[in-house]
Structure 1
Amino acid sequence: MKRSNKRWTVVFLIFLATSINYMDRANLGIAGPDMMKSIGLSKTEFGLLGSAFFWTYALMQIPVGGIVDKLGPKVTYGVAIIWWSIFSAFTAAGRSVGMLLGIRALMGIGEAPAFPTNTRVISDWLPSKERGIANGLFSMGIAVGSGLTTPVVAWVVQTYGWRTSFIVTGVIGIIWGLVWLATFKNKPSEDKSVNKAELDYILDGNKLETAEEKSNGLKWYHLLRYRNVWGILFGLFAQDYLLYLMLTWLPTYLVIERHMTLLKAGFNSVIPWIAASIGAILGGYLSDRLIKKGWAPISARKMNMTIGMVLSLAIIPAAFVTDVFAALALISLSLGGMMFANGGSWAIVADIAPKNMVGTLAGMQNFIGNISGWIAPILTGFLADKLHNFVAALVLAGVIGALSVVLYIVLLRNEKIEVKVSGGLNNERIS
């Protein structure tokens, strides 16, 4: 019997959701110059507005991981994207800093389940040897939503105004949410379009994890005993710091620092995100390739994550070059490297965590990662205001990335957290 491929349709759906997610986030950065003029915002105030989303988004990560594991991805994701899309559209009604801060904070609540849900879906629907490329594909949605849609959103902002752009992106998200609720099944065994050959292929690749799923009584804080967990927590913080700096500031940076028009900045912003898309796919492909050649999954992901974050250090020389195209090339290399690492950062969660705690660990990782969302936008704006340039802000992102490389090398080991029959955890703990 020829194997069906419904699992890749599911991966495509979460790729689209991730693209919409980051298009909604990036809209603020693209509309930034017009919003700053319209409402009278300083760089620091705009940075505060960029960070408001992450106040609630990060705080919700630990509880939403447990919610995903208990309620399943179908309801969790469907409700979440409709919620965040409504508040994305409501951004158009903002008339003051205070009002916009509230709207962005409510939007952050809705987007909180996205990545823990993506990780849970891939854990349920794909065998370990295909998770690298699957995570690379959904991570590519970060680059597509953040950058490849930038010229279109910039055109909408310039032609119809910044308020219209938020309404348009909000409507797109609501449409996706309705499609998800109508078509997605939590498990491949529940989906009639998955034939026996595909189901056997998925389940055969997840035999050990399926046995673990019956375990219970474990708490999220138990996971903090393990070196691997600390390594991936800081690693995503470093990746997200660079990501959210660029997501919030790249078009505005090109307008203010590199003296481009908004439309030109919108088109030039695409270049680093194309590199990021390529990095995401290459990173996922390489880690799966290494696993098929006999590498342990954690070792393969570690290799990707370390190489990617070394490449991300190109953000440091980008801060100092005077030629705008050299700066764009170095920023592109940096973002491409970060996304090369990012797919591994999500794939490794299912390689490390017990099956019944994949969503929980993903939520913990996303919580720590997105604390950078509190810091990067507003600190970048503060440094740019005080120093009248973006040099220190870019160098700081590089320093944080360098520390993640060190921690990957020191902390990540080829050890999955195993569940004892009694419901306890078994693995090497941090001494």
Structure 2
Amino acid sequence: MKKTNGRWIVVTLLFVATTINYMDRAILGVAGPSMMKDLSLSTVEFGILGSAFFWSYALMQIPIGVIVDKLGARLTYSIAIVWWSLCTVFTGFSRSLGALIGVRVLMGIGEAPAFPTNTRVISDWLPSHERGVANGIFNSGTAIGIGMTTPILAWIIEKWGWQASFIIIGFLGFVWLAFWLFFFKNRPSQSRITNKVEVEYIEDGQSDTKNVPAVNISPFKFLKYRSVWSLLYGLFAHNYLIYLMMTWLPTYLVVERGMTLLKAGFFTMLPWIMSFLGNILGGLLSDYLIKRGWNSIKARKTILAIGMLFPLAILPTIYTESATASLMFISLAIGGEGLAAGILWATVSDVAPKGAEGKLAGLQNFVGNLAGWIAPVATGILIAKFHNFTIALIIPVVFCCIASLSYTFLIKNERILIQKTDIDKGNKVAG
């Protein structure tokens, strides 16, 4: 019997969901110049609006990790995408700063399950040696959602106004939901898109956890393990860079580099096309190293450390007067950092003990998305104070270089072995 490829249908669904997720977040950055003009928002007020989503998004990560591990991915994702899609639509009907902040906070709650759920699905549906490219594929949806749809969003805004962009994009989630419910089940063995040969292939490729009992552990007890600290800080550094660019890059090109909104929308695609390619390449490289006999965690952290050095390419942007050159440097930085972005979540799957992937992913996403609280507001304040983007662009470079060092020296080349004292009562120790 020939092996089916249902697992790649599932990865495609995760990719599309992530693309929609980030489109819903990124509309704000594209609509920024129009919204600031229409609603008379200052750069600081717009920065606060940009961070409002992350207030609830970050805080929800800890409980969401527990919920995903208990309820399963199918139900969790279904509720989440309906919630956040409705909030995106309602954003288009909001006419005051207070109303917009309220809707963005609610939207953060709805989008909170996405990445912990993605991580759990990849862990359940993919053999270890395919998780890198699978994570690279779904995470590349962030680049598509942020950048490659920007010209379309800019065109919608120019033609029908910023409100219409939120309403139109908000309905995409309901289309995705129909496919999710039709194709996806929590386990490959339960699905209509897999056969016995594929299920056995997946299970054989999960040999590192196949005979290991699942553990029940409080997310905060992960903080006792040094590998976890590197994962938490690394996602914070990554997100600071990405959320700064997501919120401010179109405005940077319009205000600092004198482009029209449509032109900025078109050229904003380039960094995210590079990021898309970097995500896929990072996954392929780490999986290639594993197939060559490397320890899976060593392979992942090597690519993570290399990828986190590419933001250094942002520094020449500060000294060039050419809009084209500055965009090239930013594109190199975002594309190279994509090598790391593509396997951030695969590393969680490799490091977390069996049955606790969602919890560790939730903890990582909580800390990582504190960057969303800081980056948009801090950038707005720095622009208002210095009347340029110089300091704002240096900060994420420093953060990412420190992350490179932490991946190199803090992550152990082994799955976390939970101490007996950290296991919730009634569960066995993994290993």
**Fold equivalence (TM over 0.5):** yes
Q: Which amino acid aligns with 2:414?
A: E
Which deviations, in whole Å up to 9, do the C-alpha atoms of 1:181-217 show, x marking residues without a partner?
23311110001321111111000011332333x4344
Tell me what 1:403 maps to. 402
Which deviations, in whole Å up to 9, do the C-alpha atoms of 1:91-150 show, x marking residues without a partner?
011111111000000000000000000001100000010000000001110000000000
Tell me what 1:394 maps to. 393
Tell me what 2:353 maps to. 354
Q: Which amino acid aligns with 2:156?
A: V
Tell me what 2:211 maps to. 211
Residue 403 of structure 1: CA displacement?
Answer: 1.1
Indicate conservation of the 8 Å contact 2:29/2:250, yes or no. yes
Residue 426 of structure 1: CA displacement?
Answer: 7.3
Q: Which amino acid aligns with 2:348?
A: V
Aligned partners of 1:215, 1:203: CA distance in 2, in Å?
15
Tell me what 1:371 maps to. 370
Tell me what 1:235 maps to. 234
Gaps of 5+ in 1: none
Aligned partners of 1:384, 1:95: CA distance in 2, in Å?
25
Which deviations, in whole Å up to 9, do the C-alpha atoms of 1:295-318 show, x marking residues without a partner?
011000001100100112212222
Residue 424 of structure 1: CA displacement?
Answer: 6.2
Tell me what 1:106 maps to. 106
Tell me what 1:117 maps to. 117
Aligned partners of 1:348, 1:97: CA distance in 2, in Å?
39
Aligned partners of 2:195, 2:429: CA distance in 1, in Å?
35
Residue 17 of structure 1: CA displacement?
Answer: 0.3
Aligned partners of 1:179, 1:196: CA distance in 2, in Å?
22
Residue 410 of structure 1: CA displacement?
Answer: 1.8
Residue 173 of structure 1: CA displacement?
Answer: 1.2
Q: Which amino acid aligns with 1:168?
A: I
Which deviations, in whole Å up to 9, do the C-alpha atoms of 1:320-378 show, x marking residues without a partner?
32111111111111111221101221101011111210011001111111000000001
Tell me what 2:144 maps to. 144
Backbone CA RMSD of aligned residues:
1.4
Tell me what 1:75 maps to. 75
Larger displacement relative to structure 2 (417-426 or 342-351)? 417-426
Indicate conservation of the 8 Å contact 1:85/1:174, yes or no. yes
Question: Are 2:47 and 1:65 aligned?
Answer: no
Q: Which amino acid aligns with 1:307?
A: I
Indicate conservation of the 8 Å contact 2:156/2:165, yes or no. yes
Larger displacement relative to structure 2 (40-49 or 411-420)? 411-420
Question: Are 2:243 and 1:244 aligned?
Answer: yes
Indicate conservation of the 8 Å contact 2:215/2:353, yes or no. no
**DSSP-derived class of the 1:355 partner:** coil
Residue 34 of structure 1: CA displacement?
Answer: 0.5
Indicate conservation of the 8 Å contact 1:79/1:177, yes or no. no
Indicate conservation of the 8 Å contact 1:320/1:391, yes or no. no
Q: Which amino acid aligns with 1:361?
A: L
Q: Which amino acid aligns with 2:3?
A: R
Tell me what 2:316 maps to. 317
Q: Equivalent pairs: percent with the same residue?
A: 55
Aligned partners of 2:5, 2:296: CA distance in 1, in Å?
23
Pairs within 5 Å for 1:32-431: 32-212=32-212, 214-419=213-418, 423=427
Question: Are 2:15 and 1:7 aligned?
Answer: no
Which deviations, in whole Å up to 9, do the C-alpha atoms of 1:209-249 show, x marking residues without a partner?
2333x434421122111111001110010000000000001
Q: Which amino acid aligns with 1:72?
A: G
Structure 1 residue ranges, 4+ long, deviating more than 3 angstroms after superposition: 214-217, 419-427
Indicate how the Cα distance of structure 1 residues 70 and 210 shifts in structure 2: closer, same or farther if over 3 A, else same. farther
Gaps of 5+ in 2: none
Q: Which amino acid aligns with 1:190?
A: Q
Larger displacement relative to structure 2 (248-257 or 399-408)? 399-408
Aligned partners of 2:368, 2:428: CA distance in 1, in Å?
27
Aligned partners of 1:195, 1:183: CA distance in 2, in Å?
13
**DSSP-derived class of the 2:321 partner:** coil
Residue 275 of structure 1: CA displacement?
Answer: 0.5
Q: Which amino acid aligns with 2:125?
A: W
Aligned partners of 2:351, 2:429: CA distance in 1, in Å?
12
Tell me what 1:31 maps to. 31
**DSSP-derived class of the 2:155 partner:** helix
Larger displacement relative to structure 2 (415-424 or 63-72)? 415-424
Q: Which amino acid aligns with 2:270?
A: I
Indicate conservation of the 8 Å contact 1:78/1:178, yes or no. no
Indicate conservation of the 8 Å contact 1:39/1:95, yes or no. yes
**DSSP-derived class of the 1:210 partner:** coil
Larger displacement relative to structure 2 (6-15 or 193-202)? 193-202
**DSSP-derived class of the 1:152 partner:** helix
Q: Which amino acid aligns with 2:298?
A: S
Normalized against structure 1, the TM-score is what?
0.96
Aligned partners of 1:378, 1:10: CA distance in 2, in Å?
36
Aligned partners of 2:201, 2:110: CA distance in 1, in Å?
34
Indicate conservation of the 8 Å contact 2:69/2:359, yes or no. yes
Residue 425 of structure 1: CA displacement?
Answer: 5.5
Aligned partners of 1:117, 1:426: CA distance in 2, in Å?
22
Q: Which amino acid aligns with 2:29?
A: G
Larger displacement relative to structure 2 (214-223 or 88-97)? 214-223
Aligned partners of 1:217, 1:142: CA distance in 2, in Å?
31
Q: Which amino acid aligns with 1:80?
A: A
